[in-house]
Structure formats: structure tokens, C-alpha cells
Amino acid sequence: MSLLIKNGRVVDPGNDVDAQLDLFIDRGIIAETGAGLELEADEVVDAAGKLVVPGLIDIHVHLRDPGLEYKEDIASGTLAAVAGGFTAVACMPNTQPVNDNLAVTRYIQARAGEVGHCRVYPIAAITRGLKGESLTEMGELSENGVVGFSDDGRPVENGSVMRRALEYVRPFGAPIISHAEELSLVGDGVMNEGFVATELGLKGIPWVAEDAMIARDVMLAELTGGRLHVAHISTRGGVEIVRQAKKRGVRVTCEATPHHFTLTDEAVRGYDTNAKMNPPLRSEDDLAAIREGLADGTIDAIATDHAPHHFDEKNVEFNLALNGIVGLETALPLTLKLVEEKVIDLKRAIALLTCGPAGALGLAGGSLAKGQPADVTVIDPDLEWTVEPEKLHSRSKNSPFGGWRMKGAAVATIVGGNVAFRREG
Amino acid sequence: MSFGHKHILGIEQLSREDIFYILDTAESFKEINTREIKKVPTLRGKTIINLFFEASTRTRTSFEIAGKRLSADTINISASSSSVVKGETLEDTARNIEAMHPDIIVMRHGASGAPHYLAERLDCSVVNAGDGAHEHPSQALLDLFTMREKKGRLEGLEVAIVGDITHSRVARSNLYALTRVGARVRLSGPGTMLPPGIDRLGATVCDSLEAAVEGADVVMMLRIQLERQSRGGPLLPSLREYSRFYGLTPEKLKLARPDALVMHPGPMNRGVEIASSVADGPQNVILDQVENGVAVRMALLYLVAGGEAPANE
């Protein structure tokens, strides 16, 4: 099977390419790139007016499978991924049972092979049962395809356990992913601490709850030489701590979500439970800092923290609602919006969705170089559409962007040379 | 004018004109409460459900009496602190109640925003009788009613509100209401009980009770909510220390204007936020607040039921 993508604007930041080029894919591999390729192909895709970029990679999703398939499963989650332009996702271990052993990892891999629409890279737990006490078998898990370790949804509260994790994982290469939250400072907060929380009479979570834990984990990475990746960074202080650490040569990377660079805690007004997430939507100043971090390279990747929840889990009093939103199908246009608003240029935007995340977790992909597996996303940057949550491919519909006008969408998502998703019309 | 609000979810939604309209309406209802036969047929045939998810005697009784004096059928439902405890969602509870076709639901709930949630989903009117740490509009209106009754005006009044501002829906609603009618509000309390940005709502935050009380026309003391102390670290070293710095004693009250009113939404912790001699002293209007509460709640029920304000006699 061969595929020729013609006349597109190829943006491949990892290889410093931004040019009008054709792409020839043969047997799952990028066989040739060049201007005006005259090659016989089984299928020709005319990408005139479109962007042709490395397949997007989301290093932070919750596929909820095994155990919570009523929210999402590997089939529905990866379908949402390819519909959003993602050719690979890394999935968090807070499933039931927790992915803290090889049996669960192998189940995810096998299931992804059977019903998955894109590549699925398991992230395993740092500690057994996410309990924060004893380490998982990180060596064996790394050897078998686990790309990172995280107790996501919870911090590793015990500093010594976190230190040992960073030390132990070093020879195996995968990073420790920090869900940075000092729980004693979070208390029973349900949104960002600040004026909006004061007005709404909701308990606040101060920024320092995040900053304090990022600072601790960065220092532990410095102490141990281990690789640290900070998940869903959301505060000005957090960005600054990572910026300074990088300058000192600490092995730290971080990611930000589209909701944290698009929305502030103002979105909680009206007690909209679709604006309830962890970390919470922050202030205007934090949002500005995230955008600065995306622009200056402090933030390595955009990741969605795709967190599907059933309607009934959100259709309750704000205090009781579960945290999180679905994000796979809105991430690309929200990132392109940053380009339109001149926060970052197009190349940087694509980098944040491709080589950036690949680099943070040490994944293959994120490149359109000859000889690479053919994971390619064709984007129509001008396609305007309205977010209708009920039409999203995810099994859950918990999006705060319902009704938003978006610009830009994946029109073809190619995984290993096969068209995994094609937008009709 | 007519009253354009189907629900009373908070003072925040009310204009200055709305507030005065409610107070004027309440004034005409107050007289009914002193008659031999304390009942008028105004809301005959209407059904009011008091849906209380949090313990409350004062507010629930006040709303119940208000409804009954207007001849409405009032029914009380006390649910446990959260609907989830019983395994039923708030929406299901609401749908069940709506199926019985009430005209007004008066709701008290521990979660901020819970009445807003119901108002969005139900056809009947919803009156907020206190939601979490958000608003308690009927309390603020009865406070304003009492101030106006005693002082003859609201505009230009200096009102000190002292205590746990963070957890107080009374403080928030009063702050909105008082600033809207031209009174000035000073807040004071321990640093652990002053929420960020509260000054942006138009209040002056004072470092000490003394600074807040000095020259005040009204001193409103809030209840220290001992049940809120457990999670997220201690908010106070001790009640002894609290009463020393933030308790209203006769000496501290002398800093206020000689004719200053002492108010408290109740229930009081005597000897903690307020000395008994102050609570029972000549300046206290605490029971007037309770009395006026019935008239104000009659006005609210009447207005959300679509009534027009009767002409003042």
C-alpha cells in the first residue's frame, strides 16, 4: 500500500522543515519527500491549502480501560485521538486495576493492537496501587514498552519515595511524571483560590500547592540526576521553577494543557462542572505565564489530560463533580488559535504537538524524515466548525468548549501508512 | 414597577431598585404579623416546599411562617447534608419534587451553587435560603430592613462586619446588598478567615476589630463556625484568643457611634464572638432581625409568585 500526499505545506519542526512538499509513503514508511514527486501510488491525497505535519502525539490521556469503560475505552479513546489528529497517545495508569504491573500493561497493548485506531503507549504507576508506598517493577515495565511512570491524579506525597523512584528509574530511561500537588495545601479546595472562588463561595486551591510540589520534585531530580516530567503545569511559579531548573541543567521537561492556556477560573462562573479540573483553571496571570512558557521553550509539549467522565458524574453539585474534561478533539484548534493570536508561530505550535512531546517521553515519531514510520496528520487550518459535545468521538462529552467556534481540524490522520481517520465533507 | 425575577438566587442578581422594592413590600407585610388573625389569603392555593439539606431552625421556621401567613401550603423536607448520602442525585430529588407541582422551592444546601443548579432545571421558582459559603439573600434583606427601620436610611451608613468572612454567606450577601444601596462596609476577622479579593467587592478590610468598629453605625457580628475548623489546617489558635481579638465587648462597642446597632444572624456563641452583655444590651436588634425576617420572606415569596407590591398605607 502506497500513498502520495501532494501539494501540502509540510511543517516538520523536528527537522526544521517548512516548505511546499510532497510526501510518498510506502509500506508504512516515509519513503520519499520532495517537491513535485512523480511517483505511482495506490492513493493520492491532494493536500493543497493544507498542512502536512508529523502525526500529533498526546502524552497525557486517560483511556479508562481497563475498568472504567463506561467513561471511555481503548477503541473510543483512540478514535477520539485520530479524529483530533493524534497518531499516538500515552495513557495514564489510574485504571481499575491500576497499571502497576506487566499484566495490565500487556492487556492495554494487546487491546490497542486489536481495537486501537492509533499507537498507544502505556504509562505505568510509580507506586503500587498508586498508594505512594512501594515502587513498581520499573525495569521490567520499561523493558516491555512502558514510556513513563506516574501516579497521575495523585502526587507521590512521600519525598523519599519520589527520590527513590527518580534514582531507580535512571538506568531504564523512562521519566518520572509528576502530578504536582501538595495535598495539605489543597485541603478540600475545588477551584483556583482567588477572587472568583471568593465570589462563588467555593473553597480555593492556592497556586502554591502546585509550585511547592514542582519545586520539591525539581530539586529531587537535581539531587538524583533522574528524569522528571511535570504534567499539566498551570501556574506562573511552576513555569518559572522549570525555566530556572532547565538553565541549571536539571533533566526536567513539562507539558501544559489547552484548557490552561485558553481558560481562566472565570469559566467556573455559573458553577459549570465542565470547568472543574485538576489542576484548576487559574488566573489571567497564570494563563499569560503558560503562554510565555510555550513560546520560550520552557514548556516542551502540549498535552490534553483527556479525562472522560460520564454525564452523571458531572451533573451534580460543583463540590461533588469529578475533575477533568475531554480534550483530544479540541486540542489542535486551540493550539492553532495561539498562532492566530501571535503567541507562538506555526512551527512552534506543531513542535509542541509532535517532536516536543516525543522528546519529553523519549518516544519514536514526531518526525517526517525519510525512513521513519509514516505517522502523518493532514490539517485544514481554515476549516471552521462548532464544538458539539454530543458529536465528539469520545464516549464522554464533558467539554467546557461546547458551542465554541473553532478553526482548524485534522482532515486525515495516517498511522503507520494507513488512513486511520478521514474527515468527510 | 413590577418585580422581574422568577428566582431569588442571590443579592448579586438584584439591582438597587429591586432591593428597595422588596424592602417596601416587606414593610407592608410587617403589620400582618402583629394582627390578631395573622393570615391573609394572598398565596392561597400555592404550594411552597422548604427543601433543607442543612440543619436550620431559624431560617426554615421563618420561611414556613411566612408562607403560612400568606395562606400558601408549606411543606418541609429535611434531607441529610447531601443528597448523595441517600444515593439520590440532586437532580432526581428535584424532579421528584417538581412532579408534585410546587410553585416555589425554598432551598438550603451545603454546596455553593446548588440552588442555581435547581433553578436551571425546574419550572417553579427557587428561593435560595443559603448555599454553601456563597449567598444568603433573605438574611441580607432582613438585615437591611432592620437597619433602615432603626436608622431611617441605608445610604451612607457605616457597617462593620466582623468574623469568619470566608465561610460566611451572610457576609457576602450583605456586602452586595449594602454596597448597592450606598452603605459603606468594613470587614474584619482573622487573616485565616478573610478570602482573597474580598476588597474587590467594595469593602474596606480592616486589620483589627477596633478599626472596623470605630465610628460605625452598625456592627454585625458573625458566628464562629466551629464545624469548619477541621480540614485544611486550623483557622484559629483557640476560641479564647479569638474572643480576645475579635469578640465584641462593651468596651470595644464604645468605639462605635453611641447609637450604633448591634446585629447577629444567629445562632450566637455567647462569650466568643459577642459578650452576653452586648448581646442583651440596649443597642442590640438581634430579635428585631428575627421578627423582620418573616416580613421580608413574605415579601420574597409574594414577589416571586408574581405579586405586585401593594401601595404603602
- Determine whether the interchain pair B196/A193 forms a contact, defined as Cβ–Cβ distance below 8 Å: yes
Classify domain A52-372 by CATH architecture. Answer: Alpha-Beta Barrel (3.20)
Residue numbers in B near A188 (CB within 8 A): 231-232
CB A417 within 8 A of CB A352: no
If you average pLDDT over residues A121-145, what whole number do you get? 97
C-alpha cell at B28: 407592608
When CB atoms are compared, the residue of A187, A200, A312 closest to B113 is A200
Residue numbers in B near A189 (CB within 8 A): 232
Residue A62 assigned ligand-binding role: yes
Whether B179 contacts chain A with CB within 8 A: no
Residue numbers in B near A318 (CB within 8 A): 111-113
Span of A206-220, A393-407, B87-101, B217-231 with lowest mean pLDDT: B217-231
Scan for cell 520499561, then name that residue.
A142
Q: How far is B110 from chain A (nearest CA, A)?
A: 9
What interface predicted TM-score (ipTM) does this complex get? 0.88
Asked if pLDDT for residue A172 goes beyond 50, the answer is yes
Span of A35-44, A238-247, A373-382 with lowest mean pLDDT: A35-44
User: Which residues on neighbouring strands pair with residue A176, listed in sequence order?
Assistant: A149, A228
Asked if pLDDT for residue A406 goes beyond 60, the answer is yes
Ordered structural domains, chain B, with CATH:
7-135+291-305 (3.40.50.1370), 137-285 (3.40.50.1370)
Whether B234 contacts chain A with CB within 8 A: no
Q: Please choose, from the candidates B200, B198, B145, the residue with its C-alpha nearest in 3D space to the C-alpha of residue B21.
A: B145
Instruction: Give me the active site residues of B, please.
Output: 58-59, 86, 108, 136
Q: Where are the domains positioned within chain A? A: 2-51+373-422, 52-372
Q: What is the pLDDT of residue B228?
A: 66
Instruction: Give me the active site residues of A, please.
Output: 305
User: What is the Cα–Cα distance from A275 to A268, expressed in whole angstroms?
Assistant: 5
- Determine whether the interchain pair B82/A316 forms a contact, defined as Cβ–Cβ distance below 8 Å: no
Percent of all residues in chain A with a pLDDT value above 70, rounded to a whole number = 100
If you average pLDDT over residues A45-73, what whole number do you get? 97
User: What is the Cα–Cα distance from B260 to A381, expressed in whole angstroms?
Assistant: 66
- Determine whether the interchain pair B111/A319 forms a contact, defined as Cβ–Cβ distance below 8 Å: yes
User: What is the Cα–Cα distance from A152 to B287, expressed in whole angstroms?
Assistant: 53
Q: What is the pLDDT of residue A425?
A: 67
Q: What is the pLDDT of residue A188?
A: 92
Q: What is the pLDDT of residue A279?
A: 98
CB A142 within 8 A of CB A172: yes
Asked if pLDDT for residue A83 goes beyond 50, the answer is yes
Report whether CATH 2.60.40.1730 matches the domain A2-51+373-422: no
Per-residue pLDDT in tens (0 to 9) along chain B, 313 residues: 678 899 999 999 999 999 999 999 999 999 999 999 999 999 999 999 999 998 899 999 999 999 999 999 999 988 765 455 667 888 888 888 899 999 999 999 999 999 999 999 999 999 999 999 999 999 999 999 999 999 999 999 999 999 999 999 999 999 999 999 999 999 999 999 999 999 999 999 999 999 999 999 999 999 997 766 655 568 888 889 999 999 999 999 999 999 999 999 999 999 999 999 999 999 999 999 999 999 999 999 999 998 765 544 3
- Determine whether the interchain pair A204/B133 forms a contact, defined as Cβ–Cβ distance below 8 Å: no
Q: What are the residues whose beta carbons fall under 8 Å from the beta carbon of B157, sequence distance 6 or more? A: B147, B151, B178, B183, B184, B217, B218
User: What is the Cα–Cα distance from A137 to A129, expressed in whole angstroms?
Assistant: 12
Residue numbers in A near B90 (CB within 8 A): 316-317
Q: What is the pLDDT of residue B86?
A: 62
User: What is the Cα–Cα distance from B117 to B7, expressed in whole angstroms?
Assistant: 12
User: What is the Cα–Cα distance from B289 to A350, expressed in whole angstroms?
Assistant: 63
Residue numbers in A near B131 (CB within 8 A): 201
- Provide the mean pLDDT of chain A: 97
Q: How far is A239 from chain B (nearest CA, A)?
A: 23
CA B90 vs CA A313, A389, B79, B84: distances in Å:
12, 23, 11, 8
Residue A232 assigned ligand-binding role: yes
- Determine whether the interchain pair B112/A320 forms a contact, defined as Cβ–Cβ distance below 8 Å: no
CB A118 within 8 A of CB A74: no
**Residue B45 region by backbone torsions, left for phi larger than 0, else alpha for psi between -120 and 50, else beta:** left
CA B254 vs CA A366, A388, B183, B258, B276: distances in Å:
73, 62, 21, 7, 15
User: What is the Cα–Cα distance from A216 to A214, expressed in whole angstroms?
Assistant: 5
CA B27 vs CA A382, B21, B77, B106: distances in Å:
61, 10, 29, 21
pLDDT tens per residue across span A275-297: 999 999 999 999 999 999 999 99
- Determine whether the interchain pair B132/A201 forms a contact, defined as Cβ–Cβ distance below 8 Å: yes
Q: What is the pLDDT of residue B233?
A: 67
Q: How far is A242 from chain B (nearest CA, A)?
A: 27
Query: From the candidates B54, B90, B117, which should be mutated to test the interface with A, based on the most A CB atoms within 10 A?
Result: B117
User: In 3-state terms, what secondary structure has residue B180?
Assistant: helix
Asked if pLDDT for residue A181 goes beyond 70, the answer is yes
Q: What single DSSP character describes residue B311? A: P
Residue A117 assigned ligand-binding role: no
Q: What is the pLDDT of residue B312?
A: 43
User: What is the Cα–Cα distance from A243 to A264, expressed in whole angstroms?
Assistant: 22
Residue A217 assigned ligand-binding role: no
CB count in 10 Å sphere of residue B130 = 27
User: What is the Cα–Cα distance from B64 to B72, expressed in whole angstroms?
Assistant: 9
Chain mean position to CA B180: 16
Q: How far is A195 from chain B (nearest CA, A)?
A: 5
**Nearest 5 degrees, angle CA A379-CA A382-CA A384?**
105
Q: What is the pLDDT of residue A267?
A: 98
Between helix A74-83 and helix A102-115 the angle, nearest 10°, is: 60
If you average pLDDT over residues A138-156, what whole number do you get? 97
Q: Record the pTM.
A: 0.92
